[in-house]
Amino acid sequence: MLCLTIVLASLGIAIPRVTADEKKAGQIDFNREIRPILSDNCFTCHGPDDKQRMAGLRLDTKAGAFIKAGVIVPGDSAKSRLIKRVTSKDPNTVMPPPESGHKLTEKQIALLRQWIDEGARWQEHWAFVAPKRPQAPVLKNGPGSGNPIDNFIFARLEREGLKPSPEADKATLARRLYLDLTGLPPTTVDLDVFLADRSPDAYEKLVDKLLASPHYGERMALMWLDLARYADSHGYHIDSHRDMWPWRDWVIRAFNSNKPYDQFTVEQLAGDLLPSATDDQKIASGFNRNHMINFEGGAIPEEYLSEYIVDRVETTATTFLGMTMGCARCHNHKYDPVSQREFYRFYAFFNNVNEVGLDGRVGNARPFLSLPTEAQSRRQAELKVAINSLQDALDDKQIKPLIEEWERPLRTVRPSSRTANLLAHYEMDGGLADTSGNYLHARPARGEPSFGEGQIDKAINLDGQTELDFGRAGRFDRDRKFTLSAWLRPGIGKVGNYIFQKIEDEETRRGWELYFDETQLFDIQRWAAPLTVRLTSDWPENSIQVRTRELFYNGQWKHLAIVYDGSGKASGLKVYLNGRQTEVEILKDGLTGGTGTDASLVLGGKETGRAYSGAVDDFRLYDSAVSNDEIRHLAIDYTIHTVVSINPEKRSKDQTARVREHYLTEIAPASVQAQYADLIRLRKEQEDLNKSVLNVMVMSDMAVPRETFLLERGDYRNKGEKVTPGVPAVLLPLPASPEGKNPNRLTLAKWLVDPNHPLTARVAVNRFWQLYFGHGIVKTSEDFGSQGEPPVHVELLDWLATEFIRTGWDVKALQKLIVTSATYRQSSRATRALIEKDPENRLLARGPRFRLQAELVRDNALAVSGLFVPKIGGPSVLPYQTPGLWEELAFGDGFSMQTYVQGHGEDLYRRSMYTFWKRTVPPASLSTFDAPDREKCVARRAVTNTPLQALVLMNDPTYIEAARSLALRAFASGGRNPNDRIDFAFRQATGRHPSRQEVSILRSLLNQQLAVFKKDPEGARKLLAVGESTFSDKIPKQELAAWTMVASAILNLDETVTRE
């Protein structure tokens, strides 16, 4: 038989050869040897995708492969058309066709021949069949360790003619365990205690101690954050901040409390749907709110809403199923039995969240859960009682008769307003006529406006696509006084920017304009933006520009007045809101040229995608700077008198509320006004308090389910067949739902943790195995399908999966089983023979050895230096970072977290998992060590070795400061002899004492650096100035700088950043 190692290598699959435990001697194993050939070379045209299937031949199922007579003739490869086609010399008949870029090797063809000649025994794909608990093998050479894991591994080694490596020394084992279970190195005190413990169960006691450590949860959570694509920012181009750290802390608590994995799964997928769900269970559902959220101008909400749901499908499938389900978004999966229809049935589970497509402005997007502190909860309760009491005192029964009495005599008085210097007046009561007598009538220039309920009578409504042309109205030059007055009510949803514009062109922007500054969207719960006013001669140098500090809110009327005194100065541009001058921020103050233009005055804005959406009422232009009293009259008195003249039965709700508010603030008896003022004050306090309360994004379904359709080619615009929630038929069927109800996310979650599910337990135990051995039993932990790598130890995988379920999905029990195995405890020293036989250590004839994860590299340096702050959980922090990185991609100061503001104190030395994770600019020092950007679910990190990594360890402020701190520790605790200090620092970093040769090398480095810094005291000063931690000046600077360089060399050692 052909050497299978060579055959599989020819297929690009790095798996040790298969032996008798996977198949009968001399027989081909279909799943391991034949399916990969068919998957790589045939499934594209003869696989699950019926729309791309050629000649009606399907080779991914038994029924499809044998339905056509003569394609595969069991027992006779010579008569099988499959062999004839793959061996054909005719380019018109050979398979795969030349244009596919695929061609079978002679060894692959030989395997196909042998398989057919042996009877063409078919196996269903191993991962889609529920695992059955195998019997642990009996070892030929002794009884084994008593741990079933070792029976499986060592039996395989026996058949391969290999022997397990001896157990690693105790110091190495201790460091391995600490790093694997807590992500932190042991202290020398920890090491000495363990080394001194000679009891038989010393190792097991250490395992139990570390599993009980609060840092265990942090280590496990780090793996989960990659899967859940956790970050502290929304992603996309704005990438402003979000607060999802309560979910991150929930994950840490879940692992520390050893929450059973089935509950861990259910709560993250559907915690909000559990009966009487607790806040913790609702927080857990934030797993599927960790995706990116967009707020790009011009983006289409429906498109991104679909993208979020697709992300949930892909993340859920990768994390819990180990399936590449996203490949079926646009068409049937090319390799695995997942149809496009099944993809959208799975999609339907997540298409019922009460969310919008564009919401990544500032803070969290709805739906979210408020998490007040105890003090905030108490104050909320107090405010509720006080507000209810005042509302009762001021209810309509008490106040309505008083208002009726006050307004009765006013109904016969006709409201009047100032007409002097009035250039134009547009009442917007159903038309666009100018009622000033100047005949500056407006007309629609684009779209058709509608009219609806206004602040006085009716108002014009703009939809973001409508543009009104007011012609020559509003031609104001730099030295000409003017006033603009109008009522504005921004719309619900995307409001747009430009309200009024009278500009000559978009380059110079000569003229004037009013717009909402959507780069300054401050309120996390609704649209809220300041107003910007700009007069320009030549943008940007020759202009004045101011922006209100007070915000406009969508759906809320405000009276706006702009008064300009003709001075050409920003201080001469005043803004009034609801009759009172409001504070403005001066953005530009340099207008010297003319601003007059014959361009039309436009309401609605000329710029596509940025036009105003909302209502406008009572728009006026004056050829003077009107007085404060007149502004107040327009905003309050005129409006109130106009509304009062309307029959109370015919007033709108807004008009009735306006009259009531005016009475309570201006007319009512002093005692009533005081009560109302208290009510307004308490409501404002309540609003501010609610805004200050921390919240976290969670899942929450709509009352009326959203319909789901198959999207042709994955395009949100091309809706096809309507579908209901469901799962791939190749897997376990869904449990029946109550009559008349579709299954929901809770149904899906419970389906995932059904003990008979073929994937969930396998995927989970494989991921934990990967954590401890550097690779999973299935190396492609994200793909258990046909294109994934088959398991090296399939029986061990199934035994672990069934054991995991048998123990009640006990995560700590599973991990204890793994780390107490003799397989795990082997020395990682590799002989030349072992490397040649098994270069990737897939057979595990030696212990695992790999570089620490990015976060652990930094945490290790902080820990051994003594700088590490062990605080667990809380908001993310901003440690040292190269200046300017965020700013390179910043969108604007108005959005949060566009500028990196470094933290101080403890924030500089917290665990790396608490570093603020900005998706467009992840922490540079961590990215260099292969940390992902967390834009998508990541099941396996890339592992690279680059010169940049050494440069980070030598030059990043964290590592320079850590080196200095380690040097100071050596001075303080390492003794007076330089060699003893070297020994101390070396052991802190590596867990062992250095050899004489290593001491000699480091002593030479010390002497060399002492000579350097004696000649360069300024260089010593600069080196020691790095970092914010303080230190005593009793040690000469040149000496401390030299020791810092020695400590830096130790921190740079391969052994320091490697988990042996």
Residue 494 banded pLDDT, cuts 50, 70, 90: low
Q: Is pLDDT of 3 > 70?
A: no
Q: Is pLDDT of 10 > 50?
A: no
Q: Is pLDDT of 391 > 50?
A: yes
pLDDT at 587: 94
Arithmetic mean of pLDDT, 553-576: 94
Q: Is pLDDT of 523 > 60?
A: no
Q: Is pLDDT of 340 > 80?
A: yes
> Are 18 and 35 contacting, i.e. CB atoms less than 8 angstroms apart?
no
**Ordered DSSP codes for 522-585:** --SSS-EE-EEEEEEEETTTEEEEEEESSPEETT--EEEEEEE-SSSSGGGEEEEETTEE--EE
Arithmetic mean of pLDDT, 641-653: 84
pLDDT at 418: 62
Arithmetic mean of pLDDT, 971-978: 95
**Looking at per-residue confidence, does 221 or 499 come out higher?**
221
pLDDT at 144: 66
- Beta strands (DSSP E) in 106-249 are none
Residue 617 banded pLDDT, cuts 50, 70, 90: very high
Q: Is pLDDT of 281 > 80?
A: yes
Q: How far apart are the first and last CA of the chain?
A: 38
Q: Is 194 exposed, middle or buried (0-12, 13-18, 19+ CB in 10 A)?
A: buried
pLDDT at 448: 86
> CA 72, CA 1037: separation in Å to the nearest integer?
81
Tens-digit pLDDT profile for residues 724-734: 999 999 999 99
Residue 520 banded pLDDT, cuts 50, 70, 90: low
Q: Is pLDDT of 414 > 70?
A: no
Tens-digit pLDDT profile for residues 309-322: 999 999 999 999 99
Q: Is pLDDT of 125 > 50?
A: yes
413-418-420-425 Cα dihedral, nearest 10 degrees: -100
Tens-digit pLDDT profile for residues 179-192: 999 999 999 999 99
Q: Is pLDDT of 606 > 70?
A: no
> Are 415 and 642 contacting, i.e. CB atoms less than 8 angstroms apart?
yes
Tens-digit pLDDT profile for residues 87-97: 888 888 888 88
Residue 519 banded pLDDT, cuts 50, 70, 90: low
pLDDT at 496: 64
Q: Is pLDDT of 31 > 80?
A: no
pLDDT at 302: 94
Can you state the angle between helices 957-973 and 1017-1024, rounded to 10 degrees?
Answer: 100
Arithmetic mean of pLDDT, 12-17: 34
**Looking at per-residue confidence, does 1039 or 736 come out higher?**
1039
> Are 761 and 801 contacting, i.e. CB atoms less than 8 angstroms apart?
yes
Can you state the angle between helices 170-182 and 214-227, rounded to 10 degrees?
Answer: 60
Structure tokens at 1019: 């260089």
Using a pLDDT cut of 70, give the percent of the chain over it: 94
Residue 465 banded pLDDT, cuts 50, 70, 90: confident
Residue 609 banded pLDDT, cuts 50, 70, 90: low
> Are 808 and 814 contacting, i.e. CB atoms less than 8 angstroms apart?
no
- Cα-only R_g, the chain: 36
Of 310, 271, 311, 280, nearest to 700 by C-alpha is 271
Which of the 8 DSSP states describes residue 778?
S
pLDDT at 484: 96
Across all residues in the chain, what is the average pLDDT?
Answer: 91
Helix (H) / strand (E) element for 464: namely none
pLDDT at 518: 65
User: For the chain, which residues make up each domain, given as ranges?
Assistant: 4-123, 372-413+647-693, 422-644, 955-1059
> Are 235 and 919 contacting, i.e. CB atoms less than 8 angstroms apart?
yes
Q: Is pLDDT of 19 > 70?
A: no
> Are 797 and 809 contacting, i.e. CB atoms less than 8 angstroms apart?
no
CA dist list (Å): 428 to 190, 653, 760, 1004: 79, 19, 63, 87
Instruction: Establish how many alpha carbons lie within 13 A of residue 906's alpha carbon, considering only the half-sphere containing its beta carbon.
Output: 9
Q: Is pLDDT of 5 > 50?
A: no
Topology at the third CATH level for domain 422-644: Jelly Rolls (2.60.120)
Q: Is 138 exposed, middle or buried (0-12, 13-18, 19+ CB in 10 A)?
A: exposed
Phi, psi angles (nearest 5°) of residue 214: -65, -20
Pairing of strands 695-697, 368-370: antiparallel
Arithmetic mean of pLDDT, 442-451: 88
Arithmetic mean of pLDDT, 890-907: 87
Beta bridge mates, 584: 548
Arithmetic mean of pLDDT, 194-220: 98
Tens-digit pLDDT profile for residues 231-267: 999 999 889 999 999 999 999 999 999 999 999 999 9
Residue 528 banded pLDDT, cuts 50, 70, 90: confident
Q: Is pLDDT of 16 > 50?
A: no
Tens-digit pLDDT profile for residues 132-143: 999 999 888 766
Arithmetic mean of pLDDT, 764-781: 98
Tens-digit pLDDT profile for residues 344-370: 999 999 999 999 888 876 789 999 999
**Helix, strand counts (H, E) of the chain:** 37, 24
pLDDT at 12: 34
36-64: burial string, b at 16+ Cβ within 10 Å, e else: bbbbbbbbbbbbbbeeebeeebbbbbeeb
Q: Is pLDDT of 166 > 50?
A: yes
Arithmetic mean of pLDDT, 293-297: 86
Q: Is pLDDT of 553 > 50?
A: yes
